[in-house]
């Protein structure tokens, strides 16, 4: 019976601000970063890897918080830990002093996500399965036991969660055959960062088309004139049959969101993403009613399951873009997926950043196999950068994520990458002016 001996956390930062990769109307100069968690044990080869994603300054706060969050795990039996994933989550989540700092949001919740992502990774590795398979193999009752259903009973009572999972179980192998053959469809954001020139935008849109993408996303929201020009370029390159999505990264108030989106509506965008504050459930509902048939998408900054519950109740969104590192890992993501399925809202998870694609492929696969049973209207985000730092990077082929086969949650990073990009002591950062 191996025991947890340490919860190590590394502050890792990549200098992405140098190239405007990841630039948008709110975040002009992010240095993509991760609070990277390693659960150590006293058994050879038994470890768990997880992370949460930030964009630079303050990543140290999340790293320190992850150490505090993970501390109660030290000394525990690994098999008890991974055999009671719901209890493990509740044990960490219920710390009332840390809870005060959210509750269930911001730095302490990002840190909980990082630690629990590592716990789920450890669980899947113990079972010698990729995470999606580990989850798919759990019986409905056991899977519901892992979930945080607190504050959700008015929308998702436990018996209903069990019934939804049970109903889909007999047909799981049919869906698995589909994924084996074609993977899980994804879209690309790599072409459309706000800091790119028109020429680069045009070239990257064409490359995306050539690679087989049927969905492409553009960052907008800084200048309407620029947006009109950039949307025209993108629509011209991708033609009328592929989908164009636009993303304002929260820069508008409700009124501006409506007028600006309408001004771009003749480019036929599938969705307007993050039109306003991610906290504004009722604002999103107002915008959605006003900009239809353009859909409303949000969720990458959706802080917790209670926020998503209300987005569904208020019929505020057409696409649910939950984040693998902002929600409290599978324990909180699974109930959000169940609520989305109940309300008929497709889950199109947020990805990009550092490692988000590696995590998200598992989530979309789980959504299809276990929760919603459908890929209709669903497409996972894909951004082509920083994958080289991962031991088991995601593989995209013909605009689809290929089923991961290695055990775990695909979050393990190369030790050599940590040596270079750990902040501030890694070889890249040493001697450079501090970004913090």
Which residues does the annotation mark as catalytic? 219, 350
Q: Please give the C-alpha separations between residue 385 and each of 131, 188, 343, in angstroms, as whole numbers.
A: 22, 11, 33
56 vs 407, which CB is nearer to a copy of itself?
Answer: 56
216 in contact with a copy of itself (CB under 8 A): no
Q: Does 57 bind a copy of itself (CB under 8 A)?
A: yes
Task: Decide if 233 contacts 206 (C-beta within 8 A).
Answer: no
Binding a copy of itself (rule: CB under 8 A), the pick from 62, 218, 297, 360 is 62
Comparing CB distances to a copy of itself, the nearer of 151 and 425 is 151
> Binding to a copy of itself by residue 167, rule CB under 8 A?
no
Task: Note if the bond before 293 is cis, omega within 30 degrees.
Answer: yes
Pairing of strands 48-54, 33-41: antiparallel
Rounded Cα distance, 37 and 135, in Å: 21
Does the footprint of a copy of itself cover residue 290 (CB under 8 A)?
no
The binder of a copy of itself chosen from 6, 176, 224, 306 (CB under 8 A)? 306
Q: Is 424 in the site for a copy of itself (CB under 8 A)?
A: no
**What distance in Å separates the CA atoms of residue 211 and residue 208, rounded to the nearest whole number?**
5
Q: How big is the chain by its Cα radius of gyration, in Å?
A: 21
Is 28 one of the binding residues for a copy of itself (CB under 8 A)? yes
Decide if residue 160 touches a copy of itself (CB under 8 A): no
Which one of residues 20, 176, 233, 254 is an interface residue with a copy of itself (CB under 8 A)? 254
State the nearest-atom distance from the C-beta of 96 to a copy of itself, in Å.
Answer: 5
Cβ proximity to a copy of itself, 62 vs 371, nearer residue: 62
> Tokens 């409905």 label which residue?
140
Give 110's strand partners.
Answer: none
Peptide bond into 228 cis (omega under 30): no
Name the residue nearer to a copy of itself (CB basis): 208 or 357: 357
Stretch that binds a copy of itself, among 261-269, 299-307, 372-380, 408-416 (CB under 8 A): 299-307
CA-to-CA separations, 390 to 51, 235, 358, 387, 414, in angstroms, rounded? 12, 34, 8, 6, 6
Q: What is the rounded distance in angstroms from the CA atom of residue 140 to the CA atom of residue 146? A: 10
Q: Which is nearer to a copy of itself, 164 or 316 (CB)?
A: 316
Q: Which residue among 188, 298, 304, 361 contacts a copy of itself (CB under 8 A)? A: 304
Q: Which residues is 119 bridged to in the sheet? A: none
Q: What is the dihedral of CA 87, 104, 339, 276, to 10 degrees?
A: -160
Q: How far is the CB of 169 from a copy of itself (least distance, A)?
A: 27
Work out which of 106, 140, 377, 424 binds a copy of itself, going by CB under 8 A. 106
Residue 310 as a binder of a copy of itself (CB under 8 A): the answer is yes
Q: How far is the CB of 130 from a copy of itself (least distance, A)?
A: 29
With b for 16 or more beta-carbon neighbours within 10 A and e for fewer, the 37-47 pattern comes to: bbbbbeeeebb
Interatomic CA distance for residues 391 and 36, integer angstroms: 14
Closest CA to 121 of 107, 135, 109, 141: 135
Among 19, 128, 153, 427, binds a copy of itself (CB under 8 A): 153
**Residue 98 binds to a copy of itself (criterion: CB under 8 A):** yes
Report how many residues bind a copy of itself under the rule CB under 8 A: 62
Residue 30 touches a copy of itself, criterion: CB under 8 A: yes
Among residues 31, 34, 116, 6, the alpha carbon closest in space to that of 413 is found at: 34
How many helices and strands in the chain, by DSSP H and E?
Answer: 17, 11
408 part of the interface to a copy of itself, by CB under 8 A = no
Asked if 314 is part of the footprint of a copy of itself (rule: CB under 8 A), the reply reads yes
| Cα distance between residue 76 and residue 395, in whole Å | 35
Q: Which of 45, 75, 97, 170 binds a copy of itself (CB under 8 A)?
A: 97
Among 100, 159, 431, 433, binds a copy of itself (CB under 8 A): 100
173 touching a copy of itself, by CB under 8 A: no
Residue 90 engages a copy of itself in binding (rule: CB under 8 A) = no
Instruction: Point out which span in 84-92, 273-281, 358-366, 372-380 binds a copy of itself (CB under 8 A).
Output: 273-281
* Inter-residue contact 119 to 88 (CB < 8 Å): yes
Q: Give the Å distances, CA to CA, from 419 to 9, 12, 26, 357, 413.
A: 13, 9, 30, 22, 11
Residues forming contacts to a copy of itself in the complex (CB under 8 A) are: 26-31, 54-58, 60-62, 64-65, 68, 95-110, 150-154, 250, 253-256, 276-283, 286, 301, 303-304, 306-307, 309-310, 313-314, 436
């Amino acid at each position: 019976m191996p025991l947890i001996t340490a919860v190590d956390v590394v502050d890792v930062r990549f200098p992405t601000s140098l190239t405007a990769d990841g630039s948008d109307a709110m975040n002009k100069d992010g240095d993509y970063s991760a609070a990277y968690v390693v659960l150590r044990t006293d058994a050879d080869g038994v470890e768990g890897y997880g992370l949460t994603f930030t964009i630079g300054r303050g990543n140290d706060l999340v790293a320190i918080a992850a150490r505090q969050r993970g501390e109660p795990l030290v000394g525990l039996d690994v098999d008890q830990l991974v055999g009671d994933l719901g209890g493990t989550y509740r044990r960490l989540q219920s710390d009332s002093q840390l809870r005060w700092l959210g509750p269930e949001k911001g730095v302490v919740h990002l840190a909980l996500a990082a630690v629990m992502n590592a716990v789920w990774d450890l669980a899947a590795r113990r079972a010698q399965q990729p995470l999606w398979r580990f989850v798919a193999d759990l019986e409905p009752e056991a899977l519901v036991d892992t979930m945080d259903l607190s504050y959700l009973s008015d929308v998702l009572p436990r018996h209903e969660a069990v019934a939804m999972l049970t109903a889909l179980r007999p047909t799981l192998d049919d869906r698995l055959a589909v994924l084996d053959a074609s993977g899980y469809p994804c879209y690309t954001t790599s072409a459309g960062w706000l800091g790119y020139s028109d020429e680069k935008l045009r070239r990257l849109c064409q490359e995306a088309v050539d690679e087989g993408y049927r969905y492409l996303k553009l960052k907008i929201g800084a200048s309407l004139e620029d947006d009109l020009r950039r949307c025209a370029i993108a629509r011209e390159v991708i033609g009328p049959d592929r989908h164009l999505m636009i993303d304002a990264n929260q820069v508008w108030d409700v009124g501006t969101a409506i007028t600006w989106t309408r001004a771009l509506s003749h480019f036929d965008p599938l969705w307007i993403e993050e039109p306003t504050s991610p906290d504004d459930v009722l604002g999103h509902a107002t915008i959605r009613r006003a900009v239809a048939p353009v859909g409303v998408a949000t969720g990458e900054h959706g802080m917790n399951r209670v926020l998503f519950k209300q987005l569904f109740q208020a019929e505020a969104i057409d696409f649910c873009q939950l984040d693998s590192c902002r929600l409290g890992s599978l324990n909180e993501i699974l109930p959000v997926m169940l609520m989305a399925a109940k309300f008929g809202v497709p889950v199109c998870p947020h990805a990009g950043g550092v490692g988000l694609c590696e995590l998200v492929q598992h989530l979309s696969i789980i959504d299809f196999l276990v929760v919603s049973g459908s890929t209709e209207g669903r497409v996972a985000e894909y951004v082509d950068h920083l994958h080289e730092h991962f031991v088991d990077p995601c593989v995209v082929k013909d605009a689809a994520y290929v089923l991961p086969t290695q055990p775990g949650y695909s979050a393990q990073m190369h030790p050599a990458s940590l040596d270079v990009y750990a902040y501030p002591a890694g070889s890249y950062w040493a001697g450079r002016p501090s970004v913090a």
